[in-house]
């Protein structure tokens, strides 16, 4: 019994360690390109270790009554146990939602992601504190020999025999470690809270504020755009890129529509701005669980560009190229003709920030965000389809949102 609990404790610690490391890797938007196909592998590992942690928890539940009897009188251990169970249950429930996102409405994923993240911000520092303060050199001498696994199996009697100074060295070190971890994680946690819960007017990531694009003239917003008919977007875009963020100036920027078209088009910035634009309000969903609602996008409906170029009979697919020279994606011609697919230039009445894909990005509201190619610079009509950047690396070719 005691051996089993010690084993469970150890395996759970390993699982939480792997989940924390893989989870942190998954959450960093700017290393997606470095991870490449590994991102999908890490995601799989994360999920399966998650499933193992569910199994461990279930085994523990089958012995929980016994364990509780043992630690009935030990307040600290009871508190620790409650915190750990709470964290695990929250991670698991929200994790299952993120895992099964396809079958659930998108707002479930949004909430699950927030829960998953908040728990990670609280849980990792807690787990760190819990394990550091249980290192051998910090443990009470009498306990060192009795229980190395530190899962509350130790006898409490010998401790009483030890003299109790007002502040023991150990207590002092424990507090110092606790305060140290809190102080180190605190600022990041506050940033995270502001990012997640703050309105986008009050808080933008440094990446969004630091816009190096130089596009002159700036695009003039249409009345519907400046009036913000969507009421202003709700939520935050997480900046995702698989390359360094590319920079554009109106001198070197060209936009082209090529391939199986009657009129190949190569447009300068000024020519591009002369094409009639429209305004639409739509929601934006990423497969990893976050969404931004009520975006007011202004841009050229893709179908209008295709009409201008004159699509040839043989063309069956549209291929999109990013100005980062790496990211691409495809739509079938039929999908590309949906009226809300837009080559967008303004978001919420302002030029699309560089980090968000400006000067020009694709927006495909009915599909997951990976179809919405950022820094769009070229559109090619082709006869045979292919796989986009993420689809080549394991993402589903079916990117449709739940109806």
Residue 349 Rama label (left phi>0; alpha psi -120 to 50; beta): left
83 touches ligand HEM (CB under 6 A): no
Among 259, 301, 349, 357, binds ligand MTE (CB under 6 A): 357
Angle at alpha carbon of residue 120, lines to 99 and 373, rounded to 5° = 55
Residue with smaller CB distance to ligand MTE, 319 or 374: 374
Residues 6+ apart with CB under 8 A from 242: 32, 33, 36, 324, 326, 327, 389
Q: Is residue 324 at the binding interface for ligand MTE, with CB under 6 A as the rule?
A: yes
Angle at CA 57, nearest 5°, toward 56 and 62? 100
Q: Please say whether the beta carbons of 155 and 226 come within 8 A.
A: no
Q: Is 238 in the site for ligand MTE (CB under 6 A)?
A: yes
Query: Parallel, antiparallel, or unpaired: how do β-strands 376-382 and 254-259 relate?
Result: parallel
- Note whether 235 binds ligand HEM by CB under 6 A: no
Which residue in 1, 10, 24, 89 binds ligand HEM (CB under 6 A)? 24
Interface residue with ligand MTE, options 25, 359, 370, 381 (CB under 6 A): 370
Strand, coil or helix: what is 267? Answer: strand
Q: Which stretch binds ligand HEM (CB under 6 A): 40-48, 76-84, 152-160, 215-223?
A: 40-48
Q: How many CA atoms lie within 13 A of 207 on its CB side?
A: 18
Residue 174: Cβ-neighbour burial (10 angstroms; 0-12, 13-18, 19+):
middle
Half-sphere exposure of 261 (CA within 13 A, CB side): 21
Task: Pick the stretch among 48-56, 142-150, 235-243, 378-386 that binds ligand MTE (CB under 6 A).
Answer: 235-243
Closest CA to 392 of 332, 327, 335: 327
Using CB under 6 A as the binding rule, whether residue 67 contacts ligand MTE is answered as no
Q: How far is the CB of 8 from ligand MTE (least distance, A)?
A: 37
If one asks whether residue 92 binds ligand HEM (CB under 6 A), the answer comes out as: yes
117 makes contact with ligand HEM (CB under 6 A): yes
Instruction: Considering only the stretches 148-156, 164-172, 326-334, 368-376, report the one whose residues sit in contact with Mo ion under the rule CB under 5 A.
Output: 368-376
**Which residues face 249 on adjacent strands?**
214
Chain residues 268-327 in contact with ligand HEM, contact rule CB under 6 A: 288
**One of 41, 51, 59, 338 touching ligand HEM (CB under 6 A):** 51
Site string for ligand MTE, 25-44 (x = CB under 6 A): -------x------------
- Measure the CA–CA gap between 335 and 352, rounded to whole angstroms: 24
Does an H or E element contain 328, and which?
strand 328-332
Contact indicator for 224, 279 with CB cutoff of 8 Å: yes
Helix locations, 72-140, DSSP H:
75-99, 106-132
91 is a contact residue toward ligand HEM (CB under 6 A): yes
Q: Which of 286, 292, 302, 367 binds Mo ion (CB under 5 A)?
A: 286
What is the C-alpha to C-alpha distance for residues 65 and 84, in angstroms, rounded to an integer?
16
Q: Is 284 in the site for Mo ion (CB under 5 A)?
A: no
CA atoms of 292 and 286, how far apart (whole Å): 9
Output 286 or 381, the one with its CB closest to ligand HEM: 286
| Residue 30 touching ligand HEM (CB under 6 A) | no
Task: Name the residue nearer to ligand HEM (CB basis): 43 or 139.
Answer: 43
- Tell me the H-state helices in 198-285: 206-209, 223-226, 269-274
* Structure letter (DSSP) for residue 140: -
Contact between 261 and ligand MTE by CB under 6 A: the answer reads: no
End-to-end CA distance of the chain: 50
Candidates 6-14, 153-161, 219-227, 278-286: pick the segment binding Mo ion (CB under 5 A).
278-286
Among 32, 67, 116, 347, binds ligand HEM (CB under 6 A): 116
Q: Which is nearer to ligand MTE, 260 or 360 (CB)?
A: 360
Residues in touch with Mo ion (CB under 5 A): 286, 369-370
Residue ranges binding ligand MTE (CB under 6 A):
32, 237-242, 286, 322, 324, 327, 356-357, 369-370, 372-375
Residues of this chain that bind ligand HEM (CB under 6 A): 16, 19-20, 23-24, 26-27, 43, 46-47, 50-51, 53, 91-92, 95-96, 98-99, 113, 116-117, 120, 123, 288
């Amino acid at each position: 019994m005691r051996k089993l609990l010690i084993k469970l404790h150890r395996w759970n610690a390993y699982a939480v360690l792997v989940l924390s490391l893989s989870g942190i890797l998954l959450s960093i938007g700017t290393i997606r390109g470095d991870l490449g196909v590994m991102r999908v592998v890490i995601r799989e590992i994360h999920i399966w270790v998650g499933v193992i942690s569910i199994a461990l928890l279930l085994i523990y539940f089958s012995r929980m009554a016994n364990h509780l009897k043992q630690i009935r009188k030990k307040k600290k251990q009871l508190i620790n146990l409650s915190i750990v169970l709470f964290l695990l249950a929250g991670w698991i429930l929200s994790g299952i939602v993120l895992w099964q996102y396809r079958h659930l409405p998108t707002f479930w994923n949004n909430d699950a992601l927030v829960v998953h993240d908040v728990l990670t911000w609280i849980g990792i520092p807690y787990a760190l504190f819990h394990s550091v303060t249980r290192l051998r050199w910090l443990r009470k001498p009498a306990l060192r020999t009795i229980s190395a696994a530190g899962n509350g199996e130790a006898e409490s009697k010998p401790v009483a025999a030890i003299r109790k100074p007002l502040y023991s060295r150990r207590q002092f070190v424990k507090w110092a470690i606790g305060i140290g971890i809190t102080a180190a994680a605190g600022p990041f946690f506050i940033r995270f809270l502001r990012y997640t819960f703050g309105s986008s007017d009050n808080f933008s990531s440094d990446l969004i504020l630091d816009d190096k694009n130089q596009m002159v003239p700036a695009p003039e917003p249409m009345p519907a755009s400046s009036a913000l008919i969507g009421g202003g977007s709700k939520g935050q875009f997480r900046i995702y890129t698989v390359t360094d963020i590319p920079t554009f100036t109106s001198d070197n920027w060209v936009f082209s529509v090529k391939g199986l078209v009657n009129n190949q088009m190569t447009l300068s910035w000024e020519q591009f701005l002369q094409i009639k634009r429209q305004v639409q309000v739509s929601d934006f969903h990423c497969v990893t669980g976050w969404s931004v609602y009520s975006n007011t996008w202004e841009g050229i409906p893709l179908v209008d560009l295709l009409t201008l170029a004159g699509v040839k009979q043989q063309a069956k697919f549209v291929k999109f190229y990013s100005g980062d020279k790496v990211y691409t994606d495809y739509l079938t011609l039929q999908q590309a003709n949906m009226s809300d697919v837009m080559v967008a230039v303004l978001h919420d009445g302002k030029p699309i920030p560089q980090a968000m894909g400006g000067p020009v990005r694709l927006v495909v509201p009915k599909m997951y965000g990976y179809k919405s190619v950022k820094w769009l610079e070229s559109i090619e009509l082709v006869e045979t389809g292919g796989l986009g950047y993420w689809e080549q690396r394991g993402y589903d070719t079916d990117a449709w949102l739940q109806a």
